[in-house]
Structure 1
Amino acid sequence: MQSFRTELENPLVEQDIIDLDKKIRLFREGVIHEEKFRSLRLARGVYGQRQPGVQMVRIKLPFGRVTFRQFLRIADISDEYASSNLHLTTRQDIQIHYVSLDRTPELWAKLSEDDITLREACGNTVRNVTSSPAAGIDPKEPFDVSPYAQATFAYFLRNPICQEMGRKFKIAFSSSEDDTAFSYIHDLGFIPKINAAGERGFRVLFAGGLGAQPVLAHLVHDFLHEDQVIPYIESTLRVFDRYGERNNRNKARFKFLVQKLGLDEVLRLIDEERTANKVKTYKIDREVVADPALPATQADNPAPIADEAHYQAWLKTNVFEQKQPGFYGVYLKILKGDIPTAQARELVEAIRPYAADEMRITQNQGLLLKYVRAEYLSHLYVALHRLGYTALGFDSLADITTCPGTDTCNLGISNSMTLAAVLEDLVYQEYPEFIYDKQLKVKISGCMNSCGQHGLAEIGFHGSSLKAAGKVVPAVQVMLGGGTVGDGIGRVAERVIKVPSKRATDVLRVVLNDYRAERTGTENFHTYYDRQGKDYFYRLLKPLADLSTLQPEEFVDWGHEETFETAIGVGECAGVMIDLVATLLLESEEKLGWSEASLQQGAWADAIYHAYAVFVGSAKALLLDKAVNSSTQAGVIREFDERYVQTGEIELTGSFSELVLQINKNEPSEVFAKQYFTLAVDFLNQVRTKREAVVQS
Structure 2
Amino acid sequence: MSIRISDNVGAAARRDIIDLEKKISNFVSGAMTDEHFRKFRLTRGVYGQRQPGVQMIRIKLPHGRITADQLIRIADVSDRYATGNLHATTRQDIQLHFVKLADSPQLWADLEDASVTLKEACGNTVRNVTGSARAGIDPEEPFDITPYAYTIFDYFLRNPICQDMGRKFKISVSSSEQDSAYGYMHDVGLVARVQDGKRGFKVMLGGGLGAQPFAAQTAFDFLEEDRIIPFIEGVIRVFDRYGERTKRHKARMKYLLNDLGLDEMLRRIEEETPALKNKTFEVPGLALDVRPDRPEVSGFKLETSDAKLSTWFRTNVFEQKQKGWYAVQLRVLLGDMSSDTARALAGIVKKYAADDIRVTVNQGYLLRFIRPEDLTAVFHELDALGLAEPGFDTTADITTCPGTDTCNLAISSSYGITRALETMMREEFPDLVFNDDIKIKISGCMNGCGQHSVANIGYHGSSLKNGAYVLPALQVLLGGGFNGKGEGLIADKVIKIPTKRGPDSLRLLLRDYEANAFDGEYYSDYYARQGKNYFYTLLKPLADLKTVVDSDYIDWDHTEQFVTEVGVGECASVILDLVATTLTEAQEKLNWSNEALAESRWADAIYHAYNTFITGAKAALMSRDVPTNTQHGIVSDFDKHFVGESGFHEAEGDFKTRVFSINKQEPSEAFARQFIADAIEFLTNVQAYRERQIELEGAPELQELTQAQDS
* Per-residue deviation, 1:233: 0.6
- Greater shift after overlay, 480-489 or 82-91? 480-489
Distance 2:453 2:468 in 1: 31
Deviations 1:528-565 (A, max 9, x none): 11111100000010000011111111100000010000
Q: Hey, what does 2:102 align to over in structure 1?
A: 102
Unaligned runs of 5+ in 1: none
Q: Hey, what does 1:139 align to over in structure 2?
A: 139
Distance 2:427 2:481 in 1: 25
- Greater shift after overlay, 429-438 or 269-278? 429-438
Deviations 1:386-425 (A, max 9, x none): 2221111111110000000000000000000121111111
* Per-residue deviation, 1:292: 6.9
Kindly indicate whether the alpha-carbon contact (under 8 Å) linking 2:93 and 2:128 is maintained by their aligned counterparts in 1.
yes
Q: 1:585 to 1:608 in 2, by over 3 A?
A: same
Q: 1:488 to 1:288 in 2, by over 3 A?
A: farther
Q: 1:3 to 1:334 in 2, by over 3 A?
A: closer
What is the total number of aligned residue pairs between the two structures?
A: 689
Decide which of 600, 613, 620 is 1:602's aligned counterpart: 600
Kindly indicate whether the alpha-carbon contact (under 8 Å) linking 1:36 and 1:577 is maintained by their aligned counterparts in 2.
no
Decide which of 428, 431, 434 is 1:433's aligned counterpart: 431
Q: Hey, what does 1:643 align to over in structure 2?
A: 641
* Per-residue deviation, 1:3: 4.6
Decide which of 461, 470, 490 is 1:472's aligned counterpart: 470
- Give yes or no for the alignment of 1:484 onto 2:482: yes
Q: 1:486 to 1:231 in 2, by over 3 A?
A: farther
- Greater shift after overlay, 15-24 or 577-586? 577-586
* Per-residue deviation, 1:489: 3.1
Deviations 1:577-611 (A, max 9, x none): 99811111111112111111111111000110011
Distance 2:434 2:9 in 1: 49
State the SS of the aligned residue for 1:349.
helix
Kindly indicate whether the alpha-carbon contact (under 8 Å) linking 1:50 and 1:569 is maintained by their aligned counterparts in 2.
no
- Greater shift after overlay, 144-153 or 576-585? 576-585
Pairs within 5 Å for 1:489-638: 489-571=487-569, 580-638=578-636
* Per-residue deviation, 1:347: 2.2
Tell me which amino acid in the other structure corresponds to 1:421: R
Kindly indicate whether the alpha-carbon contact (under 8 Å) linking 2:142 and 2:192 is maintained by their aligned counterparts in 1.
yes
Deviations 1:213-257 (A, max 9, x none): 000000010111000011001111111111111111100000011
Distance 1:194 1:520 in 2: 35
Tell me which amino acid in the other structure corresponds to 2:125: T
Q: Hey, what does 1:326 align to over in structure 2?
A: 324
Tell me which amino acid in the other structure corresponds to 1:588: A
Deviations 1:129-156 (A, max 9, x none): 0000000100000000010011000000
Distance 2:28 2:479 in 1: 49
* Per-residue deviation, 1:686: 1.0
Q: Hey, what does 2:93 align to over in structure 1?
A: 93
Distance 1:655 1:173 in 2: 42
Q: Hey, what does 2:120 align to over in structure 1?
A: 120
Q: Hey, what does 2:420 align to over in structure 1?
A: 422
Kindly indicate whether the alpha-carbon contact (under 8 Å) linking 1:177 and 1:486 is maintained by their aligned counterparts in 2.
no
- Greater shift after overlay, 647-656 or 504-513? 647-656
Q: 1:488 to 1:259 in 2, by over 3 A?
A: farther
Distance 1:613 1:559 in 2: 47
Deviations 1:22-68 (A, max 9, x none): 11111111111101100100000000000000000000000000111
Distance 1:334 1:216 in 2: 28
Deviations 1:494-543 (A, max 9, x none): 01100000000000000101100111222221221111110000001000
- Give yes or no for the alignment of 1:337 onto 2:335: yes
Kindly indicate whether the alpha-carbon contact (under 8 Å) linking 1:305 and 1:378 is maintained by their aligned counterparts in 2.
no
* Per-residue deviation, 1:573: 12
Q: Hey, what does 1:169 align to over in structure 2?
A: 169
Distance 2:36 2:303 in 1: 58
Kindly indicate whether the alpha-carbon contact (under 8 Å) linking 1:68 and 1:348 is maintained by their aligned counterparts in 2.
yes
Decide which of 337, 346, 349 is 1:348's aligned counterpart: 346
- Give yes or no for the alignment of 1:79 onto 2:67: no
Q: 1:578 to 1:617 in 2, by over 3 A?
A: farther
Q: Hey, what does 1:250 align to over in structure 2?
A: 249
Kindly indicate whether the alpha-carbon contact (under 8 Å) linking 2:302 and 2:310 is maintained by their aligned counterparts in 1.
no
- TM-score under structure 2 normalisation? 0.94
Tell me which amino acid in the other structure corresponds to 2:278: V
Pairs within 5 Å for 1:206-285: 206-285=205-284
Tell me which amino acid in the other structure corresponds to 2:232: I
Kindly indicate whether the alpha-carbon contact (under 8 Å) linking 2:472 and 2:552 is maintained by their aligned counterparts in 1.
yes
* Per-residue deviation, 1:628: 1.3
- Give yes or no for the alignment of 1:663 onto 2:666: no
- Give yes or no for the alignment of 1:673 onto 2:672: yes
* Per-residue deviation, 1:351: 3.9
- Greater shift after overlay, 252-261 or 53-62? 252-261
Distance 1:117 1:208 in 2: 26
Distance 2:577 2:262 in 1: 30
Distance 1:270 1:616 in 2: 20
- Give yes or no for the alignment of 1:373 onto 2:371: yes
Unaligned runs of 5+ in 2: 697-711
Kindly indicate whether the alpha-carbon contact (under 8 Å) linking 1:303 and 1:379 is maintained by their aligned counterparts in 2.
no
- TM-score under structure 1 normalisation? 0.96
- Greater shift after overlay, 84-93 or 584-593? 584-593
* Per-residue deviation, 1:649: 7.4
Q: Hey, what does 1:63 align to over in structure 2?
A: 63
Distance 1:487 1:657 in 2: 48
State the SS of the aligned residue for 1:645.
coil
The alignment yields a C-alpha RMSD, in angstroms, of: 2.2
Decide which of 397, 400, 406 is 2:398's aligned counterpart: 400
Q: 1:422 to 1:307 in 2, by over 3 A?
A: farther
Distance 1:411 1:164 in 2: 23
Q: Hey, what does 1:149 align to over in structure 2?
A: 149
Q: Hey, what does 1:692 align to over in structure 2?
A: 691
Kindly indicate whether the alpha-carbon contact (under 8 Å) linking 1:356 and 1:370 is maintained by their aligned counterparts in 2.
yes
* Per-residue deviation, 1:488: 7.8
- Greater shift after overlay, 420-429 or 656-665? 420-429
Distance 2:647 2:590 in 1: 23
Kindly indicate whether the alpha-carbon contact (under 8 Å) linking 2:445 and 2:462 is maintained by their aligned counterparts in 1.
yes
Kindly indicate whether the alpha-carbon contact (under 8 Å) linking 1:43 and 1:124 is maintained by their aligned counterparts in 2.
yes
Deviations 1:638-661 (A, max 9, x none): 000010025667335761100101
Deviations 1:431-458 (A, max 9, x none): 1122111110110000001100000001
* Per-residue deviation, 1:572: 5.5
Tell me which amino acid in the other structure corresponds to 2:683: L
Q: Hey, what does 2:442 align to over in structure 1?
A: 444
Tell me which amino acid in the other structure corresponds to 2:585: E
* Per-residue deviation, 1:195: 0.7
Q: Hey, what does 2:203 align to over in structure 1?
A: 204
State the SS of the aligned residue for 2:351.
coil
Distance 2:650 2:327 in 1: 63
State the SS of the aligned residue for 2:352.
coil
Once the two structures are aligned, what percentage of the paired residues are identical?
53
Kindly indicate whether the alpha-carbon contact (under 8 Å) linking 2:483 and 2:524 is maintained by their aligned counterparts in 1.
no
Kindly indicate whether the alpha-carbon contact (under 8 Å) linking 1:68 and 1:359 is maintained by their aligned counterparts in 2.
yes
